[in-house]
């Protein structure tokens, strides 16, 4: 049984990390058996080294940065980090399961993933400070030390700046809504009739917002109203792949 | 017969504009009969108004900006500007011709187009000044007045800065190369086995560089060597749709 490594929280359901959600959605969609192992931030590096999952990035000082999601697949002996690489691995290793990155769209899927991250510049100033209250103490301290800086303070904007930046966030999502509108005639999912990794990549960020603020929060209630309710509907369409095991 | 409105130059073949190339490739690929009408920059607005092609953007001061490519299709009476809108129009109006934006990929195609523009930030400082020498005097004066500013001077970088920014441009293309590598197993084109608007959007920029500097230039010779010669090969693969009529 595959082991999925994820970062715990105090939120209902425990899972919250947008990047790990991409892999959880992927595994659930494929119907591959797996279990979750919860790893606090300070233990990620040692865990990845122990299972043999390579680092995914380098810090500015050149030292390797180990990140989750990571998986260990005992049936092949493979350990791997990075949600896109994991998606490619699962498609190749389990060819009888639904494709996450169907042939003929791989180039633009990678471009979409790059574009999408750039397209939500206003997200981080809200979502990163919003994550602090749901983390357990060791992860909270680590997150506070590593995720903030001059560009992203560890408290979300308040007052007029909040209004202005919240409107900016809505506009960023509006750009994505425009792309989704272009494909609407092809089917309910980004690639048309079937879900794919791209839907999970988008959903990973939206579910993160729902989790950090909570279903009944003012923030989530507002987002639910944006763009004719499409973001809540987006998650609802993928709800069957939301199970945390 | 459709009329394609394009901006002339003194370069061999006359055509140069990357955005109009997208539409020329599109028309040639579909095998739709058309002829080109050449319009100098200062006459674009009057031409678009005369044929009834809407403006495509607004300037910072709120006034409408008319751009090429534009087409007039006498068989339907439609006049239209913007290469993507034209592609959508041609797909819808000529359903028996090869699709530029095949169903199931429209959302990510639009995302790719947005990503792609963002992904070449180092391009403009070279390509915009490089265009000046091939324009006819009325377009040259207009281009000089409207395309440059504090961010993009009307001369390309020289000396050490040139070296550095040229390396940056290569890196930008490298990012695109990485995406193309991801899809390579699916076929020679971005969407796999068939060309699509995306190939023409990428080719429009590459052919622009070949045209402004010329086949034998140092700049083009260098670009030809980048990333295992893939950019020259990219154009070669689409050469049959390069005809200027």
pLDDT tens column, A183-220: 888 889 998 899 999 999 999 999 999 999 999 999 99
What's the Cα-to-Cα distance from B122 to each of A10, A211, B111, B128, B171, rounded to whole Å?
A: 45, 39, 20, 11, 9
Q: CA A62, CA B239: separation in Å to the nearest integer?
A: 43
Enumerate the domain spans of chain B.
2-93, 106-241
Q: Give chain B's contact residues with A (Cβ, < 8 Å).
A: 103-112, 114-116, 118-119, 175, 178-180, 182-183, 185-187, 190-193, 198
Q: CA A30, CA A99: separation in Å to the nearest integer?
A: 8
Q: So what's the pLDDT on residue B70?
A: 98
| Contact between A186 and B106 using a beta-carbon 8 Å cutoff | yes
- Would the CATH topology of B2-93 be identical to that of B106-241? no
Locate the chain A residue with the closest alpha carbon to B194: A104
Q: So what's the pLDDT on residue B196?
A: 94
| Contact between A104 and B191 using a beta-carbon 8 Å cutoff | yes
Q: What are B84's two structure tokens?
A: 């993507």
Q: So what's the pLDDT on residue A108?
A: 80
pLDDT-wise least confident of A88-97, A180-189, B121-130, B164-173: A180-189
Q: Please state which CATH number belongs to domain A106-241.
A: 1.20.1050.10
pLDDT tens for B62-111 read 999 999 999 999 999 999 999 999 999 999 999 999 999 988 878 878 88
Q: What are A149's two structure tokens?
A: 């800086």
pLDDT tens for B24-48 read 999 999 999 999 999 999 999 999 9
What's the Cα-to-Cα distance from B79 to each of B89, B193, B209, B211, rounded to whole Å?
A: 10, 31, 29, 28
pLDDT tens for B164-174 read 999 999 999 99
Q: Give chain A's contact residues with B (Cβ, < 8 Å).
A: 103-112, 114-116, 118-119, 175, 178-180, 182-183, 185-187, 190-193, 198
Q: Specify the CATH architecture of the domain A2-93.
A: 3-Layer(aba) Sandwich (3.40)
Q: So what's the pLDDT on residue A227?
A: 96
What is this model's ipTM? 0.71
Whether B241 contacts B29, CB under 8 Å: yes
Q: What is the DSSP string of B92-160?
A: HH-TTSPPSS-TT-HHHHHHHHHHHHHT-TTTHHHHHHHHGGGS-HHHHHHHHHHS--SSS-SS---HH
Give the residue-averaged pLDDT of B119-139: 94
| Contact between B108 and A192 using a beta-carbon 8 Å cutoff | no
Give the residue-averaged pLDDT of B184-209: 92
| Contact between A186 and B114 using a beta-carbon 8 Å cutoff | no
At A112, is the secondary structure helix, strand, or coil?
helix
């Amino acid at each position: 049984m595959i082991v999925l490594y994820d970062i715990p929280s105090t939120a209902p359901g425990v899972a919250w990390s947008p990047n790990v959600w991409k892999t959880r959605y992927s595994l659930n969609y494929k119907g591959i058996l797996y279990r979750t192992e919860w790893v606090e931030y300070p233990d990620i590096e040692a865990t990845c080294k122990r299972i043999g999952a390579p680092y995914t990035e380098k810090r500015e000082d050149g030292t390797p940065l180990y990140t989750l999601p990571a998986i260990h697949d005992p049936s092949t002996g493979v350990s791997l980090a990075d949600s896109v690489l994991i998606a490619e691995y699962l498609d190749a290793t389990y060819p009888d399961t639904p494709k996450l990155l169907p042939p003929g769209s791989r180039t633009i899927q990678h471009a979409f993933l790059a574009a999408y991250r750039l397209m939500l510049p206003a997200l981080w100033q809200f979502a990163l400070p919003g994550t602090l209250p749901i983390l357990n103490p060791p992860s909270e301290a680590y997150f506070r030390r590593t995720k903030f800086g001059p560009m992203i303070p560890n408290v979300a904007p308040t007052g007029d700046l909040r209004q202005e930046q919240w409107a900016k966030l809505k506009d960023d999502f509006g750009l994505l809504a425009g792309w989704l509108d272009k494909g609407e005639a092809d089917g309910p999912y980004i690639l048309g009739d079937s879900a794919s990794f791209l839907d999970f990549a988008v959903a990973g960020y939206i579910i993160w917002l729902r989790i950090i603020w909570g279903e009944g929060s003012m923030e989530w209630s507002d987002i639910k109203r944006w763009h004719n309710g499409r973001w809540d509907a987006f998650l609802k369409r993928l709800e069957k792949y939301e199970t945390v095991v």
